[in-house]
């Protein structure tokens, strides 16, 4: 139950310690698949707390990044609260401010836990699509050579602006990564390469991260004008050939379940679906 002396307020950097303690309750926490820690968003727009006399009992954050897309990066609540009470207290305040400040905002979430999907569906969120998880079967890997009309090289920090431009062209306004997001991804990558054409223009890139199980192809994008020329196949082949044996035999990738072109590409390279998927929900403010 939410007490009368409880208030909703904006999060500030000084709340770092209390929110970190609240995140200890992992079974009561939704976190976005993000390059940044949720605590890095303190001080950003669209980050609210439930405060009981100075004791933080719940938190909700959906800063817009990229513009107009407010991914729910955090929802967490103390176990003494009821889930629905905690969500309602924060969401009622948040949605009013979000759409007042930006009527075009799309509040969205990638679902990792069933309880979070349930509470969103009860609050006018609708399923947009699924994200499928695939893994490489190294015995089925098929190598593709780089055509002579472009080359692959290591990504440099000076490339990030061009990489962000390619990402927007390839993925559009909803799914693209902002420059800041790509910068964070680049800093965490175990492999980051770009494909350049004869004019030394970046036409594609890949970013991959490492983990204790292997590696994850976190982002693969090719400019629309360069698609169908083997750029994506060459980028992934180059990646696999340059990972260590543990990483390339445990390489995973996510893609939208309705992205038939991506699914066909990964199948051609030796990836197969694991059967795991993550629903993507978006708020329908018209309901």
How confident is the model over 228-285, as pLDDT tens digits?
A: 999 999 999 999 988 887 777 789 999 999 999 999 999 999 899 999 999 999 998 8
CATH classification at residue 218: 3.40.630.30
Contact at 8 Å (CB) between 167 and 185?
Answer: no
- Which of 88, 123, 158 is the C-terminal boundary of a domain? 123
- Provide the mean pLDDT of the chain: 93
- 31 and 142 share one domain: no
- 110 and 145 share one domain: no
- 182 and 89 share one domain: no
Q: Is 222 within the bounds of a domain?
A: yes
Q: Is 55 within the bounds of a domain?
A: yes
Q: Is 43 within the bounds of a domain?
A: yes
Closest CA relative to residue 222, chosen from 150, 156, 141: 150
- 137 and 273 share one domain: yes
DSSP string, 229-247: SSHHHHHHHHHHHHS-HHH
Q: Is 1 within the bounds of a domain?
A: no
The sign of the dihedral angle between the CA atoms of 216, 218, 223, 228 is positive
| pLDDT (0 to 100) of residue 142 | 79
Could you read off the pLDDT of 96-154 as tens digits, one per residue? 999 999 999 999 999 999 999 999 999 999 999 999 999 987 888 877 777 788 999 99
| pLDDT (0 to 100) of residue 287 | 60
Range of the domain at 48: 6-123
- 93 and 176 share one domain: no
- 34 and 81 share one domain: yes
- 61 and 173 share one domain: no
- 180 and 145 share one domain: yes
Going by their DSSP bridges, the two strands 202-211 and 191-197 should be labelled as: antiparallel
- 73 and 151 share one domain: no
- 140 and 94 share one domain: no
- The structure's pTM equals 0.92
- Which of 100, 123, 146 is the C-terminal boundary of a domain? 123
Q: Is 286 within the bounds of a domain?
A: no
- Which of 123, 149, 166 is the C-terminal boundary of a domain? 123
> What residues contact 100, with CB distance under 8 A and at least 6 apart?
none
| Beta-carbon count within 10 A of 126 CB | 11
Q: Is 52 within the bounds of a domain?
A: yes
Q: Measured between alpha carbons, how far is 252 from 15 in angstroms, rounded to an integer? A: 35
Our CA angle for 212, 216, 221, nearest 5°, is 160
| pLDDT (0 to 100) of residue 167 | 98
Contact at 8 Å (CB) between 273 and 134?
Answer: yes
**Structural domains of the chain, count:** 2
- 110 and 156 share one domain: no
Beta bridge partners of 197: 150
- 73 and 139 share one domain: no
Q: Is 93 within the bounds of a domain?
A: yes
pLDDT > 90 fraction of the chain, expressed in percent and rounded: 82
């Amino acid at each position: 139950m939410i007490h009368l002396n409880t208030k909703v307020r904006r999060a500030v950097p000084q709340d770092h310690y209390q929110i970190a303690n609240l995140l200890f309750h992992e079974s009561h926490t939704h976190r976005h698949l993000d390059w940044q820690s949720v605590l890095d968003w303190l001080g950003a727009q669209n980050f609210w707390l439930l405060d009981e006399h100075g004791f933080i009992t719940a938190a909700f954050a959906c800063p817009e990044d990229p513009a107009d897309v407010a991914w729910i990066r955090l929802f967490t609540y103390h176990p003494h609260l009821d889930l629905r009470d905690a969500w309602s207290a924060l969401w009622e305040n948040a949605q009013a401010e979000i759409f007042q400040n930006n009527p075009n905002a799309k509040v969205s979430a990638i679902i990792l836990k069933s309880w979070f999907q349930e509470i969103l569906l009860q609050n006018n969120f609708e399923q947009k699509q699924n994200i499928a998880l695939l893994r490489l079967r190294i015995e089925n890997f098929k190598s593709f050579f780089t055509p002579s009309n472009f080359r692959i090289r290591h990504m440099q920090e000076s490339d990030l602006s061009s990489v962000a431009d390619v990402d927007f062209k390839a993925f559009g306004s909803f799914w693209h990564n902002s420059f800041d997001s790509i910068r964070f991804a680049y800093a965490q990558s175990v492999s980051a390469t770009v494909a350049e054409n004869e004019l030394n223009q970046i036409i594609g890139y890949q970013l991959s991260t490492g983990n204790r199980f292997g590696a994850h192809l976190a982002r693969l994008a090719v400019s629309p004008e360069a698609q169908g020329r083997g750029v994506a196949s060459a980028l992934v082949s180059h990646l696999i050939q340059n990972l260590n044996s543990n990483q390339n035999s445990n390489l995973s990738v996510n893609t939208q379940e309705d992205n038939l072109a991506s699914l066909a590409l990964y199948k051609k390279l030796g990836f197969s679906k694991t059967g795991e998927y993550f629903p993507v929900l978006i708020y329908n403010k018209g309901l």
